[in-house]
Amino acid sequence: MGSAGLSRLHGLFAVYKPPGLKWKHLRDTVELQLLKGLNARKPPAPKQRVRFLLGPMEGSEEKELTLTATSVPSLVNHPLVCGPAFTHLKVGMGHRLDVRASGVLVLGVGHGCRLLTDMYNAHLTKDYTVRGLLGKATDDFCEDGRLVEKTTYDHVTREKLDRILAMIQGSHQKALVMYSNLDLKTQEAYEMAVRGLIRPMNKSPMLITGIRCLHFAPPEFLLEVQCMHETQKELRKLVHEIGLELKTTAVCSQVRRTRDGFFTLDSALLRTQWDLHNIQDAIRAAAPQVASELEKSLGPQLDTKELPSREWSWESQGPSFILVPEKGAGH
Amino acid sequence: MALSAQQIPRWFNSAKLRSLINAVQLTKCFARPGRTLLHGFSAQPQISSDNCFLQWGFKTYKTSSLWNSSQSTSSSSQENNSTQSSLLPSMNEQSQKTQKIPSFDSELFLEELDELPPLSPMQPISEEEAIQIIADPPLPPASFTLRDYVDHSETLQKLVLLGVDLSKIEKHTEAANLLLRLDFEKDIKQMLLFLKDVGIEDNQLGAFLTKNHAIFSEDLENLKIRVAYLLSKNFSKADVAQMVRKAPFLLNFSVERLDNRLGFFQKELELSVKKVKKRREFVYFYVCKFTFMLTANKRKLTETFDFVHNVMSIPHHIIVKFPQVFNTRLFKIKERHLFLTYLGRAQYDPAKPNYISLDKLVSIPDEIFCEEIAKASVQDFDKFLKTL
């Protein structure tokens, strides 16, 4: 069971990171739980070793000594002497979430760690729900930071907020096109831009492909943000800037990732499900989708049976834009 | 020393401890390069102590037959060995083996054996002597694991049979070296009898020793003093046994440290003046039931306490009744409390209806918690967790 268990432990899966947990601790916890599951199999039968004992020969009258070979149990393979069978597993981490944020976090095990690089290079967008609180400003844009300023927010209405969000989306749209290194004068590029399918395939600052307000009940408001190349701190800063644009102040009380590429909340494993069995099932369930999405994102390959790799056979540099429509892309 | 060649193996079998110590001295005499971790353990106990002689090839063989020849008081054997040089002292005394025998480049004998002129390896020997040469593969002089020595050390074998996890102890080199040198009959048995005296059962000894392997370096007298101190604080023997079982390092603390910790917990829980009289009984009850707190992490305790008191608004006197909240993970308390708040069922005041006691909040498993306390399904709880 152990080796069979290990062979099924290669691939990507998503967990739900709760707030207040460092990503490193999460990774270590998952590794520990997997090792626990793998080490739970039965220990092997005790080894025997041969010893030659000196003793009187049977059936002889004199005291003649002879060597007899006996097999005595050896403690060399005893589990209390060797320790557990598995002591280390390669568990890799996808796009990180900081301590206060929560949400979908992609992990890779064994050979799946290679796929993490592929996922990173696919430059897929991510979905967040961001909860903001009007009326105060803190130094680290979080609710429990050091208070810098307090303001009134009675003048803020839903329309004003929507207008600001539309402005933000527009400016980021421009940045999207710019960082995609796309010449908009061509017909194809124009059509793609019209359909909203452009995104940069190399490094860029945080780009928001879509933002809208889900719920507005002052002082609280809930935003849904679709972005790429972001950090959670930049999202909190975004909330702060929205507050400033509204001529008041705002802090961010929750940042929660609901989608990372093609992993959604439904497939994310909760803390109680971080064990060998559940993770193996999650890897198996996600495997076909992972393979197809990565293949689409990284471009056509000559050998479609293999998982896509970074090498490009027909261009020295990969294309800087991509034509693939994504699930839930923009509005 | 009247030894015959046949008696040599038996002699070695019986001189386990001596050979251990002598081996240490042996290795001190040798300049053995590359000795790393479990050092000083070359060619050790009982059966394989013959190996140490065979390790150095023919020299050992010379030694064994030398003893043979030393038995005979006649000088005929001397003549046989006349080819060797005559640097050796007289054979009648048991002299210290400090002189070098020319054909050897290192000291070889144990203290009690006489120095004898070496024999040539080409010399024919009888069948009986040949049969008594034990040629097991030699033990590694230094190793990073106790696996190499477990089959040859009675101490280690007995410890494994007791249930001690050697793979954990071998990570601490000092403890592992100590275990290799200790003799089961002399040292370890005393400690085991003392622990049984304190009240630890046979089947729990293994787990205890695995956790607290440093106890072998503690002085038995100090341990007895500490147990006496705990008993003097009006804890019964059974309570002390449970304390030691739950917190194995308790016995390693000095008496002052134990005193300080008990005092710390009294202060932390801010017992009112009225309870000063009951303090002794309280500490007694408290320490017995919740020994983990004596060895717990202070920062985590204060975080949990802060959440339970300030966020959940539970007054001190109720927290005091349920100290096990400090043993559960903070995230568990947080998640369950937030779920109950979301459902509107977070009622921790015993006077009001729908009261939920703290121990029910933390100690029951998830399914029962969801069904009975929260009156919701586990799927709802999971969905809620994904919104946090």
Chain A residues within 8 A of B51 when measuring between CB atoms: none
- Mind telling me how many Å the CA of A272 is from chain B's nearest CA? 9
| Choice between B190 and B234, residue whose per-residue pLDDT is larger | B190
**How far is it, in rounded angstroms, from Cα B238 to Cα B355?**
35
Q: Which of B153, B156, B167, B205 to mutate to test the interface with A (most CBs of A within 10 A)?
A: B167
Whether residue A18 and residue B387 make contact (CB cut-off 8 A), yes or no, is no
Element (H, E) at A255: strand A250-260
Please give the pLDDT value at position A217: 92
User: What is the DSSP pairing of strand A102-109 with strand A91-93?
Assistant: antiparallel
Does one domain contain both A168 and A198? yes
Question: Quick check: A74 and B151 CB within 8 A?
Answer: yes
Question: How many Cβ pairs closer than 8 A exist between chain A and B?
Answer: 63
A140 lies in the same domain as A251? yes
Helix (H, G, I), strand (E, B) or coil at B49: helix
Domain that holds residue A25: 7-35+88-123+268-275
In a domain, A213, yes or no: yes
Domain annotation covers residue A152: yes
> Regarding predicted confidence, which is higher, B36 or A74?
A74
Tell me if residue B381 falls in helix, strand or coil: helix
A214 touches chain B (CB under 8 A): no
Distance between B144 CA and the closest CA of chain A, angstroms:
12
The reply to whether A92 and A114 lie within a common domain is yes
Task: Decide if A272 touches B, using CB distance below 8 A.
Answer: yes
How far apart CA B127 and CA A313 sit, in angstroms, is 76
Do residues B173 and B37 make contact, with C-beta atoms less than 8 angstroms apart?
Answer: yes
Strands A147-150 and A263-264: unpaired
Quick one: B267 exposed, middle or buried, by C-beta within 10 A (0-12, 13-18, 19+)?
exposed
A175 CA: distance to closest CA in chain B (Å):
31
Structure pTM?
0.66
User: Are A185 and A206 within 8 A, CB to CB?
Assistant: no
Which one has a higher pLDDT value, A56 or B294? A56
Radius of gyration of chain B (CA): 32
Are A118 and A187 members of one domain?
no
- How far is A75 from B266, CA to CA, in rounded Å? 48
- Verify that A114 and A144 share a domain, yes or no: no
Residue B89 in tokens: 């002292």
Q: Supply φ then ψ for residue A77, to 5 degrees.
A: -100, 10
Kind plus residue range of the DSSP H or E element containing B337: helix B330-343
Task: For residue A21, give the nearest of A93, A96, A106, A98 by alpha carbon.
Answer: A98
**Alpha-carbon distances of A328 from A9, A125, A169, A206, A294, rounded to whole Å:** 30, 10, 16, 19, 17
A115 plus A204 within the same structural domain: no
Angstrom distance (rounded) from CA B14 to CA A242: 86
Q: Chain A within 8 Å of B168 (Cβ-Cβ)?
A: yes
> What pLDDT does B215 receive?
83
A132 φ/ψ angles, rounded to the nearest 5 degrees: -120, 160
Contact A83 B167 (CB under 8 A): yes
Residue that is last in its domain, among A234, A260, A286: A260
Report, as an integer, the average pLDDT of A33-43. Answer: 87
Cα separation values, A218 from A150, A165, A324, B198, B377, Å: 15, 16, 38, 65, 32
- Check B165 against A80: CB less than 8 A apart: yes
The total number of residues shown for chain B amounts to 388
User: A80 vs B131: CB contact, 8 Å cut-off?
Assistant: no
Q: Is the dihedral of CA B118, B121, B122, B125 positive or negative?
A: positive
* Both structure tokens of A74: 């050896």
Angle B7-B10-B11 from CA coordinates, rounded to 5° = 80
Inform me whether the C-beta atom of residue B165 falls under 8 Å from chain A C-beta atoms: yes
For residue B111, the 8-state DSSP code is T
Give the residue carrying structure tokens 């998503």. A14
Distance from CA of A252 to the nearest CA of B (A): 14
Q: Is A264 on the interface with B (CB under 8 A)?
A: no
Residue B285 pLDDT class (50, 70, 90 cuts) = low
Q: A131-145, A211-225, B41-55 — which is least confidently predicted?
A: B41-55
Give the nearest partner residue to B382 out of A49, A80, A270, using CB atoms.
A270
Q: Is A80 on the interface with B (CB under 8 A)?
A: yes
**Residues of chain A found within 8 Å of residue B156, distances taken between Cβ atoms:** 75
Residue A111 lies in a domain: yes
Q: Say whether pLDDT at B299 is over 60.
A: yes
Nearest to A75 among B6, B157, B366 (CB): B157
In this structure, is the dihedral angle defined by the CA atoms of residues B259, B260, B265 and B269, taken in order, positive or negative?
positive
Say whether both A132 and A229 belong to one domain: yes
Report the residue of A75, A143, A214, A256 to disrupt the B interface, i.e. the one with the largest count of B CBs within 10 Å.
Answer: A75
CA distance B146 to chain A (A): 7
Of A49, A79, A268, the CB nearest to B386: A268
ipTM above 0.90, yes or no: no
Q: Could you tell me if residue A280 is inside a domain?
A: no
Active site residue A303: no
- Which chain A residue lies closest to B148 (C-alpha atoms)? A76
Mean pLDDT of B201-206: 85
> What CA–CA distance (Å, rounded) separates A165 from A313?
42
Q: Which residues 6+ apart lie within 8 Å of A86 measured at CB?
A: A2, A6, A35, A38, A39
- State the angle between helix axes of B16-29 and B7-14 in degrees (0 to 180), rounded to the nearest 10: 90
CA neighbor of B162 nearest in space, from B205, B210, B215 = B205
**Secondary structure of residue A222 in the 3-state scheme:** strand
Q: Which residue, chain included where needed, has tokens 């590359």?
A: B34
Which residues are A134's β-sheet partners? A250
The residues facing A128 across adjacent strands are: A225, A257
Count of other CB atoms within 10 angstroms of residue A154: 9
* Number of domains comprising chain A: 2
> Which chain B residue is nearest to residue A47, measuring alpha carbons?
B151
Q: Is A253 helix (H, G, I), strand (E, B) or coil?
A: strand
DSSP, res B114: P
Q: What angle do CA A223, B338, B335 make, to 5 degrees?
A: 100
3-state secondary structure of A106: strand
pLDDT higher than threshold 90 for residue B187: no
Chain A residues whose beta carbon lies within 8 Å of the beta carbon of residue B382: 270
Residue B24 has pLDDT above 60, yes or no: no
Q: How far apart are CA B3 and CA B7, in angstroms?
A: 6
User: Is residue A174, in this structure, part of any structural domain at all?
Assistant: yes
Count the helix, strand and coil residues of chain B and give each as a percent rounded to the nearest 5.
60, 0, 40
Cβ pair B382:A256 closer than 8 A: no
Interchain contact A87–B (C-beta under 8 A)? no
Confidence of residue B111 (pLDDT cuts 50, 70, 90): very low
The helix/strand/coil state of A295 is helix
Radius of gyration of chain A (CA): 29
* Any B CB within 8 A of A27 CB: no
The shortest CB-CB distance from A80 to any of B128, B160, B385 is to B160
Q: Which of B50, B132, B148, B151 to mutate to test the interface with A (most CBs of A within 10 A)?
A: B151
**A240 and A218 in one domain?**
yes
Q: Judge whether residue B14 has pLDDT over 80.
A: no
Q: Is B209 exposed, middle or buried (0-12, 13-18, 19+ CB in 10 A)?
A: buried
Query: Hey, is the C-beta of B167 within 8 angstroms of any chain A C-beta?
Result: yes
**C-beta separation of A27 from A91 below 8 A:** yes
Q: Is residue A109 a part of any domain in this protein?
A: yes
Burial environment of residue B91 by CB neighbours within 10 A (0 to 12, 13 to 18, 19 or more)? buried
Mean pLDDT in residue range B308-334: 85
A-chain CB neighbours of B147 within 8 Å are: 76, 81-82
Residue A117 located in a structural domain: yes
pLDDT over threshold 90, residue A25 = yes
* Same domain for A184 and A223: yes
Does A109 share its domain with A231? no
Q: Which of A235, A251, A275 corresponds to the end of one domain? A: A275
Contacts of B6 in chain A (CB under 8 A): 65
**Average pLDDT over chain B, rounded to whole?**
69
| pLDDT at residue number B113 | 56
> What is the arithmetic mean of pLDDT over B334-355?
88
Nearest to A76 among B150, B163, B386 (CB): B150
Q: Tens digits of per-residue pLDDT, A189-202?
A: 888 777 767 778 88
Rounded Cα distance, B331 and A14, in Å: 20
- Cβ within 8 Å, pair B151-A76: yes
* A83 contacts chain B (CB < 8 A): yes
Convert the pLDDT of each residue in A291-321 to its tens digit.
998 888 776 543 434 444 443 333 334 444 4
* pLDDT value at A219 more than 80: yes
Same domain for A97 and A169, yes or no, is no
Closest Cα partner for B209 from B148, B155, B290, B261?
B155
Cα(B102)–Cα(A120) distance, integer angstroms = 72
B221 CB within 8 Å of a chain A CB: no
What CA–CA distance (Å, rounded) separates A226 from B131? Answer: 83
Instruction: Read off the CATH number of the domain in which A210 is found.
Output: 3.30.2350.10
Chain A contact present for B6, CB below 8 A: yes
Residues A93 and A140 occupy one common structural domain: no
Is the pLDDT at B117 greater than 90? The verdict is no
Last residue of a domain, one of A250, A275, A300: A275
Q: Are B44 and B152 in contact (CB under 8 A)?
A: yes
> For a pLDDT cut of 70, what percent of chain A falls above it?
86
Best interface-test mutation with B: which of A51, A81, A215 has the largest number of B CBs within 10 A?
A81
Measured CA to CA, the distance from residue B69 to residue B80 in angstroms comes to 9
Write down how long chain A is. Answer: 331
Residues of A in contact with B9 (CB under 8 A): 54
Mean of pLDDT values over A91-112: 93
| Closest Cβ opposite residue A18 in set B131, B160, B388 | B388
Cα–Cα distance between A202 and B224 in angstroms, integer? 69
Of A79-93, A98-112, B150-164, B305-319, which one has max mean pLDDT?
A98-112
Within-domain flag for A202: yes
Q: Which of A98, A140, A275, A281 is catalytic?
A: A98
Residue A133 has pLDDT above 90, yes or no: yes
Q: Say if the Cβ atoms of B331 and A52 lie within 8 Å.
A: no
